[in-house]
Structure 1
Amino acid sequence: MKNKKLYILAILAIAFSSCNKELDEVNINPNAPEIPVPDYLLTGTTKATVDAYWGVTNNMNSSLLFAQHWAKVQYTEEDRFIYSNSSFTSLWSTGYAQSIPGYNKIIELGDAQGNSVYRGVALVLRSWTFLLLTDAYGDIPYTQAGKIKQFITPVYDKQKDVYYGVLEDLKSALTALNLKSGNGIAGDIIYKGNTENWKKFANSLRLRIALRIADKDPAKAKQVIDEIKAEGGLYISANSENAKLDYDVSPQQNPVAASFETRNDYRISKTIVDRLTALGDARLPVYASKTEKEPQGYVGIPNGSTNSEASAIGLANSSKPGAYFLDPKAPAVILSYAEVLFDRAEAAARGFTTENAQDLYKQAITASYAQYGLNNLNSNIETYLNSTAVQYDATNYKKSIGEQKWIALFGQGLEAWAEQRRLDYPQLKASVNTVLNGKIPVRFIYPGTEQSLNGQNYKNAVSSQGADLLTTKLWFDVF
């Protein structure tokens, strides 16, 4: 039943995004309620957004390669950064044609029905969507986004203004969630209507953004964290509270599993296999599968391999992602307890809080282990935490936190890539076969359709931000 409902709702969300005023007026069902319920739209819009976040184009074929979690064993052009201006359309089109209009409509419907929880939940998910977009592209439409009747060609807001605006949106979401007006909500496939978890998710997003801007505006970052504390706000505080979408069997399976049903292009990156092996990290068998060919082992493909180089290693001699990630029901993690602990450790290291950075760092690694069922009974966690290579270095917190956070964010390509750009650890190297003169992409290029459909605003954004290239650094990416 759950499988069928998700399928129907995803179709409804897509259908909604393509409707216009004229069609709405012509296709009126006299037997339908005048005020539609928002639950189907919430389910469909959420799933469409998470599918784009966790799927092939924005995750497997780009950000996971940039973060060197995954590599390509066939058709390696993307792993050598050979892209066109249509390569990065998916995140943009999903965000602006489905996600943001969908969440705006949910807010409208919730308000019409006197149900503030729909407003709160939709604001949190819309904020996360804007965060994905600006982290990837930089300057983006924000203030005029999703308001097609008013703004056919929306202006681009500066990345700084998007971050600051989203922070205010999240505060508004908390206000709405605290009101709890109405009779609860349906259609919530993240937290099943648990408003306390939604509030924790909202605060955890605020913390994420505070650190995203910390190198550019540390005073603002500290202010945000102080506000959360003053409000008595709580963060995600257990793996059971992770913001995630649990997938189902086909046709509602995890996008990673769906891809591997018909294609065999991807393997684990040699970079992360080598690092986990050197550290004796118990997450290696979770993240990677053993090779099919004897002697079996964990073998990664070097990022940026040519087709002939990758072919020489071979499909049977290289490691696919682990069975955990290939399971059709594997969750798409949006924000985890481990990430929150790493963020709190960094906030303490920066002097934004009085918490103990080292203790939080250890808790974060432990939480990441536990996320995959690796507790003290079946892992070497205590030995691992006390090893020289893993021990927290207060003199270089970015290195300690950056490297371990990169490991913990495995599979979350867009977030792992954003954090690696921000913290500059681990220090990844591009292959000589890549086409960006030794550089790794630091942004998505805008979809080519923006040049033709929103030309002047596109030109204004490029003039303000810099050339529309994979190598143009974004506002938050200081070093």
Structure 2
Amino acid sequence: MKKIIAILTTGLLLTACVSEDINTDPNSAYTTVPGSLINYAEKELSDYLNTPSVNENNFRLTMQYWQETTYVNESNYDFTNRNVSNSIYTLNYVNVLKNLSKAKEIINAYSPTATELADWPTNKKNQLAIIEILEVFTYQRLVDTFGNIPYTQAGNVIAFPLPAYDDGATIYQNLISRIDAAIPNLVAVDEDHDFDTFTDGDKYYGGDASKWRKFANSLKLKLAIGIADSNPSLAQTTATSAITAGVMTSPADNCQFQYLAASPNYNPLFENLSASGRNDFFAGKTLVDYMNATNDPRIGHYFDEVEGGGYVGQVIGEGGEFGDFSNIGAFAYTATTPGIILNYTEVAFYIAEANARWNPAAAATAYNTAVTASIVEWGGTPAEAVTYLATHPYDAVNWKKSIGEQAWVAMFNQAQTSWNFWRRLDFPVLTAPATAIINAGGKVPVRMAYPVLEQQVNSSNWKAASTAIGGDLLTTKLFWDKF
């Protein structure tokens, strides 16, 4: 951890998306306005969540959406060969959290000019609230990936060069408290004021406090659903509060990063599938067979047909010739496809799950809304959704299967989120390939192992954390994964 957190991100301003001014030297972090740091952190977060790079994010493979063509290590859960966990730590702790922390430091130290003085208190609150929300989002992802993680000591490398790990359940409770504290500080700023909140530096919402408020409530709902089995009372009150306050209600509320047509700012899907000139992935058999069997209208958007017609996926864990199986759809070969952070479809499935757990009378309607949102998101029509739902109705008796399977299909391009739904609801039933590494224990992984770098540099804290969670294994369930 020492080597990771001590690094201030290199190439801070190399992205062409940054449009806010720098005082003097554009390559010096000490002269950077907070918006530039926010911009960089947002892009890095989006890149991490959306990339299919086997060095960083293999959840499309884990969830059996995609399959590798030639080098099938990651399809068989060998994540240590490429030190994937090291990359996850670096991307999140350094590229995202460290830059957010630096932005917060600059904001707190800033002395407004006389002309800015009237607007500054409100804008300061807004800026710090946005940073807080992004930090909460990132830390939840880290907990959901590893379990116990460095948290309270992670942001201060001077005082804690080798940070201790915090209990995952305790972190979750603190994240909920932080989101509750941040939401009231999101106040809409008059567009005529001279000092708008982040403006171009915020590539998600352009500093729009009302949209950030919806995102924050939606994130609060996501946190609540995450602990629905481990702390049901806190989960229910938190979910109810979030929905009542106002979560995402349409695609207009989506939190996403708009990529550009040119390098280095095109979508990482396009970077890995098109610009790289490589053919490393095609469709996985598990999802393709399910969608074929259910006449899913989204299949033509997810995948291309093979020569001669139809959709074919390869057996999970096995390679094959690129042209023999369905290719990934056109969205992945489009440079400007937005990077999803959190969207309406995901939130609709959380609402469906919340109702299934605590308000069963409304569950079927919420389920229909969520499935419809996904079909429409992928270019389908409400009429197609009605037809699909007629043969895939909500099952109140086995609601985990209904929601779990449909969330799995819907989260096709949000595989980390899909991994959470699957671990929490235990549907769909996924079987590990016979060729999977021994460390997987014949199962699909339910967590990522800690980085090798942590074992080498932060050994005593790594050992304590590993013991606390029940072992640093791919098969060790997180605290909220109860069934």
TM bracket, shorter-chain basis: 0.7 to 0.9
Whole-angstrom distance in 2 between the partners of 1:41 and 1:147: 18
Q: Deviations over 1:155-178 (max 9, x none)?
A: 111110111111112112212213
Which residue number corresponds to residue 202 of structure 1? 216
Which residue number corresponds to residue 141 of structure 1? 150
The aligned amino acid for 1:240 is A
TM-score normalized by the length of structure 1: 0.87
Q: Deviations over 1:240-299 (max 9, x none)?
A: 1111112111311111110013221111111111111111111001111122xx313211
Q: Deviations over 1:119-161 (max 9, x none)?
A: 1111111111111111111110111112112211111111101
Structure 2 stretches lacking a partner, 5+ long: 1-8, 16-23, 111-119
- Out of 197, 201, 206, the residue aligned to residue 184 of structure 1 is 197
Q: Structure 1's 248 and 159: CA in aligned 2 closer, same or farther, altered over 3 A?
A: same
Note if 1:233 corresponds to 2:229. Answer: no
Note if 1:264 corresponds to 2:274. Answer: no
Q: Name which of structure 1's ranges 447-456 and 83-92 shifts more when overlaid on structure 2.
A: 83-92
Which residue number corresponds to residue 25 of structure 1? none
Q: Number of paired residues?
A: 443
Whole-angstrom distance in 2 between the partners of 1:58 and 1:222: 37
Note if 1:108 corresponds to 2:127. Answer: no
Q: Deviations over 1:331-376 (max 9, x none)?
A: 121212111111111111111x477111111011111112122123
The aligned amino acid for 1:361 is Y
CA RMSD of aligned residues (A): 2.4
The aligned amino acid for 2:167 is K
Give the C-alpha shift of residue 419 in structure 1.
1.2
The aligned amino acid for 2:375 is Y
Q: Structure 1's 192 and 249: CA in aligned 2 closer, same or farther, altered over 3 A?
A: same
SS in 1 for 2:84: coil
Runs of 4+ that moved beyond 6 A: 32-35
Q: Deviations over 1:74-124 (max 9, x none)?
A: 111111122327232111111112211111222233334442211111111
Whole-angstrom distance in 1 between the partners of 2:140 and 2:327: 30
Which residue number corresponds to residue 346 of structure 2? 339
SS in 2 for 1:71: strand
Note if 1:156 corresponds to 2:156. Answer: no
Note if 1:330 corresponds to 2:344. Answer: no
Note if 1:129 corresponds to 2:143. Answer: no
The aligned amino acid for 1:176 is N
Note if 1:168 corresponds to 2:159. Answer: no
Whole-angstrom distance in 1 between the partners of 2:189 and 2:99: 21
Identity in percent = 34
Q: Structure 1's 454 and 271: CA in aligned 2 closer, same or farther, altered over 3 A?
A: same
Contact 2:12–2:40 (Cα < 8 Å) also in 1: yes
Q: Structure 1's 407 and 29: CA in aligned 2 closer, same or farther, altered over 3 A?
A: closer
Whole-angstrom distance in 1 between the partners of 2:477 and 2:14: 33
Which residue number corresponds to residue 461 of structure 1? 465
Whole-angstrom distance in 1 between the partners of 2:367 and 2:25: 56
Q: Structure 1's 48 and 29: CA in aligned 2 closer, same or farther, altered over 3 A?
A: closer
Which residue number corresponds to residue 367 of structure 2? 361
TM-score normalized by the length of structure 2: 0.87
- Out of 377, 384, 391, the residue aligned to residue 380 of structure 1 is 384
Whole-angstrom distance in 2 between the partners of 1:38 and 1:58: 31
Give the C-alpha shift of residue 184 in structure 1.
2.3
Contact 1:210–1:225 (Cα < 8 Å) also in 2: yes
Which residue number corresponds to residue 92 of structure 2? 95
Give the C-alpha shift of residue 414 in structure 1.
1.1
Note if 1:49 corresponds to 2:45. Answer: yes
The aligned amino acid for 1:280 is N
The aligned amino acid for 1:356 is A
The aligned amino acid for 1:414 is Q
